[in-house]
Structures are given as structure tokens and as C-alpha cells.
Structure 1
Amino acid sequence: MILEKEDWEEPECCFRPHIAAAEAVHTGSADGGPSVREVIQGFDRLLDRDAKREAAIYLEDWMARYEEAGDWASQITILNEMMGFYRNSGEREKGLAAVEKGLALVGDHGLSQTVTGGTTCLNAATTMKAFGKAAEAMPYYDQAFRAYGGSLPPGDYRFGGLFNNMALAWEDLGEYRKAEAYYKKAMDIMEALRPGSLLEIAVTWVNLAVLYEKAGREEEIDGCLEKAVEIFRSGEVPRDGYYAFNCRKCAETFGHFGYFRIKKELTEAADRIYREAGEEPGR
């Protein structure tokens, strides 16, 4: 039986290391300071401690530095991170501003057919979708697919994130058959990348459960959720900040379906990981 809906949303799919961080146009530093990759690692450490306010200030500070230096390549990397961060924190104005600037930089510097350009289009589309612009997002998902297709092997992990997020957008548009097809495309890629992709597989099972509810296929919901729980409990999955992030994102959906014990288990696991990370010496 489906219980009354709580305040929840479907978890999006993203791979770690962050898509944006992995696709910086360059990783060096002209002035001897930290590379943009090292900057993103610092951002990750703040997220691992659940220090959201400090993480926002950190990103904005580095964005201002790169703007002052005229370093457009590093700006693209930071803007990709901003899209994801503001999407998750629900800050519509800031998230869409990052989308606009990121896409403009990609266009200005002729990157639309590169992996970096594809990644920016993917993050932009997913942010637009999160803020109610699923139809407007679809051309950018298509552009990401074309860019990846021209540069990456078909089994690359980035296609898994792309297909999963495309499925979420089709679902928002009421195209449930298309959404299911893209979830299955994502699952095929991620299954081939186990065990490093286990959390992404769990998120996809959770998303499929939500899709099946909308499509009136309630008999398939429990099987999806049970497969996701098995992964969250698996000893193969590192109990790190990324695990905590996904626990929190999926916990509300489990609660929505009446899996209150699992919701409590995942929430407590996330709280424990963040608490221990914050207490770690030198953090």
C-alpha cells in the first residue's frame, strides 16, 4: 500500500569522482597555487563533513578568484560543481545562474563537442530539470550524448549518469516507457562497472520504484526497493561521504513507500558518517 506522500524527491544519479571535477580542461596552476583538481578535492572534503555553508562559501570564493584571473577553464569546472551543489540545496536562482554562465563559456570557447562541453551540458540539463524545466533540458541532454559519443567508448561510466538523468527528465514529462528504457540503459553500463558503481545501481533501483508507482505498476515496486537495500547493506560499498549522501537522498523515498525502518537505518548511517568525519583530527 502506498502511504501519503512525504516531502521527498527522486535521487539523481552522479558518479564519484565528480563528473565536473574529472573533466577540467586543465589541472595545472599557472601561479604555483593549488590546481583546480585540488580545489575540488577540498570541496569534497567539506561535503564529506556535511559542511554545506562552508562548501558554498568555498566555491564562491574560488569562482571569484578564477574570474579575476581570467581563468575560464577553471571557471567551467567550478560552475559544474555549483550546478550540482545548488541543485541539491534547492537554490534555484543560483543554480540557473551557474547553468547560464557555464553554457556560455562552453559556447564561447568552442567546447560543445568535447567531453568537457558534454559534461557541462549534462549538469546544466539536470539542474534545469530539477527546477521544473525538463522540456527545456532535453536538447542539452542530446548535446551531451553527441559530445560523449564522439569521444568516449559506449561503456564509459559517464553514459550511465547521462542515461539515468535523462530517464528522470522523461519521467517528469510523463514519458514513462522512454524513462524505463533509459534507466535500463544506465543499469547495463553500471552493472559492467561493478563494484565501483554499486551506489549508482542502488539509486537506479530506487528511481525505478518511483517510476513504476507513477506508471501504475505497483507490483514491481518492492522488488526494486529490496535490491537497493541489499546494495546499501553490502560490505562492498565504502561507508564514506558519498555513501552518506546517497543514504540521505534515498531515505525519503523509502519512507514514501512505507519502508520506515530502512529510512531510519539510512538516515542514521548518514548522520554517523558525517559526525565522525567532522570529529576527525585535522578536518
Structure 2
Amino acid sequence: MMTIDGIFAQLNGLIERREWDKVEPFLTGCMENASELKNYGIYITIGNELLDFYRETGQFEKALNLSEDILLLMEELQLEETEHFATVMINVAAVCQAAGRDEEAYRYDVRALKIYEQALSGGDIRFIRLYQNMSMLLESRNEFEEAAMLLEKAASILENKPEEKEQRADLLTSAALLRFKQEKYEEGEELLKLALSLYEASENLPGEAEDGEELHCAHYSAALSGLGEAAFRREDYETALAFYEKAASVSASTFGESEGTRLLRENCAAIVQLLHSDCKNPS
């Protein structure tokens, strides 16, 4: 029986060589071997990897069958109140969400949260993924208040982790946009100002970093756009234009002339026209 490190080394090799057709048989073979040797730790760990593979490749039925097997085994081993059980439940919830079974996903997440609250300290970074998942599910149900609060809680976990400034800014940006959906524009704007200060305090602004982290760039552009919207609603059109222009520049440098970039440019053009109209017709 290979060690867990040996299994992951071989798995990473398959992934690097893009030998996707060999991943499933390799992982199932490792699980069968672990089962025969009653090495349930390896069985569960590799099962989790296979669960992610099934989810990412859209094999939801296989994923759900496997998740039931893993959870039943963990219950038999009396692990159902452990953080490891909660982590598996979060992975199962992600499968359910990807398969369009949102209510089931939310139930798994709620149960996982209860276990985490008992097993982990409140500032544990493992809460972040769970809060994000639950927020997405709540947003899909138009429960924007609860969804925003979870993202703000996730962001607060990173408050004293300066190396995670961009991730915290991403979370604050997402929370702010949910506040906008509630028409709580002042609250949303304050969150966006904080997010922008974190982005600008980063070693490289999103959109300027060599690695071109698209997720951070998307959130940075959204933060700028949101500040533009807030300024526009206050009829501070020059400030709104500056934010929209910057958002369009970040979007264009990251995603090219995408639909999002086009819409931002349209906002800029509309504000320019409005400013020209105000100049021609002073009150």
C-alpha cells in the first residue's frame, strides 16, 4: 500500500501530464486497496479527492453515490462530530450545488457549520469557504441580508492577516454588492472603500500583477464599478466617471473587450454625455 504522500505524488503526475482518463481508475484502485487493508484514513482522504474529481467533471451521480458511502463509513467509525466529517459534508454540498440541488446543499452546509462551531475556533480560516458557499446559496434565494453578513464574517477572519489583503478585499466587495441589492448603498459604499484601500495596499494592484490573478481582478473591477455607481447615485458624476473609467481599464487589461468591459465603457459614455449636457444647460 502506497503512503498518502505517494498517492498524491502519482495523482499530481497524472494531472500534470493531463492523463485525465487515468485519474478515476487510479483513485478507485487506491480506495479498494485501502479498504482491503482497513486503512480507513486513506480511504476517506482519497474518496474526498475522487469526489472533487467527479464534481469538476460533471459526474454528479457518481459523486453523490460516493459521498453517501464516505459519510456512512465515517458514521460507523463514530467520526460524525469531527471537523473531518464537516469537511466532507462541505464537499458533498458543493456537489449538490453543482448538480442544481441547492436546498440539499444548504442542509449539508448548515450541519457542517454546527460541527465547525463546536470543533474549531471562531477565527479558523476553514470557516471562510463554508461562509462563501452558504452566502451563494442564500443569494440564490434572494436572502441578501444573511448572505452579506456571512461574507462580512468571512472577511473579519482575515482582518489580522495582512498577507491575505486581496482575499479580504474580494469578500468585502462581494458583501458590498449584496448590500447594493438591498438598496443599502451607504453601507455598500463603505465596504467598497475599505476593499479599495486593501487592493491599493497590496504589493501589486490586481490587473498589474505578473501572474494576472483573474479572480482578484474581477473583484477589483467590481469594487471600482460599485464605487462609480454609488457616486452616480449621489449625482457626483465626475467621481463616478473616474471610477468607471478605472474599472473599464482593469477589465480590458484582464479580460479584453468582453461584455463586462463594453458595459463599463457604455456607462462612461453615458456619464460624459450627461456632464456635457450639464455644461450646456447650467442651472
TM superposition score normalised by structure 1: 0.61
Structure 1 counterpart of 2:74, one-letter code: V
Match of 1:143 in 2: 111
Name the counterpart of 1:24.
Answer: none
The counterpart of 1:72, out of the listed 40, 50, 70, is: 40
Change (3 A) 1:157 1:109: same
Give the structure 1 partner of residue 101 of structure 2: 133
Corresponding residue pairs, total: 225
Q: CA deviation at 1:175?
A: 1.2
Aligned pairs (5 A) from 1:106-117: 106-117=74-85
Mapped partners of 1:56, 1:264: distance in 2: 36
Corresponding position of 2:135: 167
Q: Deviations over 1:160-190 (max 9, x none)?
A: 2221211112112221111011111111112
Deviation at 1:147, TM superposition (A): 1.9
Q: Is the 8 A contact 2:165 2:198 kept in 1?
A: no
2:158 counterpart SS class: helix
Distance 1:46 1:155, change over 3 A: farther
The alpha-carbon deviation at position 250 of structure 1 amounts to 6.2
CA 1:200 to 1:90, structure 2 compared with 1: closer, same or farther past 3 Å?
farther
Shift in Å, 1:141:
1.4
Specify the SS of the correspondent of 2:120: coil
**Are the structure 2 counterparts of residues 128 and 231 from structure 1 closer, same or farther at C-alpha, using a change threshold of 3 Å?**
farther
TM-score, normalised with respect to structure 2: 0.61
Contact 2:131 2:151 (C-alpha < 8 Å) held by counterparts: yes
Task: Give the aligned partner of residue 189 of structure 1.
Answer: 157
8 Å CA contact 1:59, 1:78 repeated in 2: no
Which structure has the bigger radius of gyration? 2
Contact (CA 8 Å) 1:99, 1:127: kept in 2 or not?
no
**Conserved 8 A contact 1:199-1:232:** no
Q: Contact conserved, 1:170 with 1:179, CA < 8 A, in 2?
A: yes
Identity %: 24
Identify if the C-alpha distance between structure 1 residues 213 and 111 changes in structure 2 by more than 3 Å, giving closer, same or farther: same
Match of 1:152 in 2: 120
Q: What is the CA–CA distance in structure 1 between the aligned matches of 2:146 and 2:123, rounded to whole Å?
A: 20
Residues 36 and 186 of structure 1, relative CA distance in 2, 3 Å threshold: same
Q: SS of 1:235's equivalent?
A: coil
User: What does residue range 6-155 of structure 1 map to in structure 2 within 5 Å?
Assistant: 31=1, 33=2, 35-37=3-5, 39-40=7-8, 43=11, 53-54=18-19, 57-58=22-23, 60-70=25-35, 71-155=39-123
Higher helix residue share? 2
Alignment partner of 1:191: what SS? coil
Q: Structure 1 residues 202-211 or 175-184, which shifts more? A: 202-211
CA displacement 1:180-228 (0-9 Å, x = unmatched): 1111111111223331x34532442453365356545678489749937
